[in-house]
Structures are given as structure tokens and as C-alpha cells.
Structure 1
Amino acid sequence: MNTNSRNVTYSTVGDYQLPNLILNQPRKPLGKYGRLRRTYLKQHRPVLYHTMLMNGSLYPHLMEVEQTAESRMQQTMQDLLKQDPAPDKAQNQLMWVQHMNSLKAQAEELVLTELIYS
């Protein structure tokens, strides 16, 4: 095996020198927002996606987006509940569920626009 100045090792296969590449494997599976970001990058920003994949920054980026999106969702839900309180759950459970789903959809739309599809 030969080594160049960047500490990349190579193996000889026939007449070719091929680099011995090792990709960092994810330690923890991606959540919903990390997977959405990965899909967006792969489909709409392929050069950035492949660059990040090759230099090892893709998975850390996706995990950061995942954590930021989750925390932003929680904070946005709290803010929306302060602005528009939910009906009493014990009195009218169906209206409470409908209200909470509406707030969640609003919060998720903000997170998707600001973090995932930008």
C-alpha cells in the first residue's frame, strides 16, 4: 500500500490504485426531519449532498437539523398554545385533538420551510 500526503491509503487492484475509503457510519438512526433533509439535499442539491457525503459532514449535518427541528417544533407549539389555548380536554376531547393537530400542522410548516427545504 502506498500513502500520499493526505494520509489516504491505496490498494492495487489489477493495474489500478484505488483509495481505501471508509465512510463514517451513523451511530444513531435519523429521525423524520433528518431523513426529509437528506431527501431534499439528494434530489434538489445533489452536488452539495455528494460533497458532504464524501467529506463526512453529511451525517453530523442531518443530526443537527434533526435536533434543531425537534426543538423548534416544541418551542413553536408552546408559543402557539399561548396565543391560542386549546379547549378543555376533559369537556370536549374531539375539539382538543382537532385544535392540537391544527397547531402541530402550523408548527411543522414553519420548521419545514425554515430548516428542511432551504
Structure 2
Amino acid sequence: MKQYIYNKQNGLWYELWGDYYIPCLDLPAEKEERSIGVWGRRHLRYIREHKKALYTSLLTSGKLQSYLADVEEQAQELFDRLMKQRAEREGITETLKADNQMEWVQRMNALRSAVIETVNAEVIFV
């Protein structure tokens, strides 16, 4: 049996693996390399488990990396903006940090947890 065969009907090459011919398919290369941080990985895990059709479509089209990088940027921008706005609204300032560090840490941790939940609900788990 030949190692490679060409099918004129669908225009694909096939490679012999054991007793079967498997199509020789290559995923399209992604054009850009952008980093994927914690938000992108969290969204990847979510779509892999709960939105399998979207995940498969993005993976096979070669757009998964750029999609996750976009989600990462969007989530990080929202996180930064909400942290700044809510810290100002709740009076968590640098003077509080200088006067009472433990209270500042406690309030910032509580604020950070609340903002993470908001970003998860609005960007990641959608």
C-alpha cells in the first residue's frame, strides 16, 4: 500500500497509519503572538468545558489564541478600571496605606475579591 494518496474529489492528501488512511491536515498558523494571562486561561477552561462548539470552531479555524488574547485584554482593562473606581469610592487611599497598613491590606483584598467576581461574571463566564 502507498504511504500517501491524493483524493481528487476533496483535494486532500492521506497518509497511511497502520491499516487506515488519515487526512493530512494542518491548522492555519496564527498571525500574532499575544500573551494569555490568568483571565485568558480561565476563559479557555470555561469554553473548553461548557461551550465545546465555540472552542472547537476557534481551535480549528486558528483563531483561538487571538480570541483568548482579546478576552485577556478586555478582562484586564475592566479589572484595572473597577479597582481604581471602587478604591476611590470607598476611600482606600495612599494616606490610609501610610497610616494603617493592615486595614489598607484588608480593604484592598476584599475589594480585589469583589472585582474578580464582577470580571468573572461579565467577561469570563459568558
Instruction: Tell me whether the two structures share a fold, i.e. TM-score over 0.5.
Output: yes
Match of 1:20 in 2: 25
Q: Could you tell me which runs of 5 or more consecutive residues in structure 2 were left unpaired when the two chains were aligned.
A: none
Matches within 5 A, 1:44-83: 44-83=50-89
Q: Could you tell me which runs of 5 or more consecutive residues in structure 1 were left unpaired when the two chains were aligned.
A: none
Q: Distance in 2 between matches of 1:3 and 1:89?
A: 70
Q: Distance in 2 between matches of 1:99 and 1:10?
A: 61
Match of 1:34 in 2: 40
TM-score by length of 1: 0.83
Match of 1:92 in 2: 100
Q: Identity over the aligned pairs, expressed in percent?
A: 26
TM-score by length of 2: 0.78
Moved over 4 A (4+): 1-4
Match of 1:116 in 2: 124
Q: How many residues align?
A: 117
| C-alpha distance 81-16 of structure 1, shift in aligned 2 (>3 A) | same
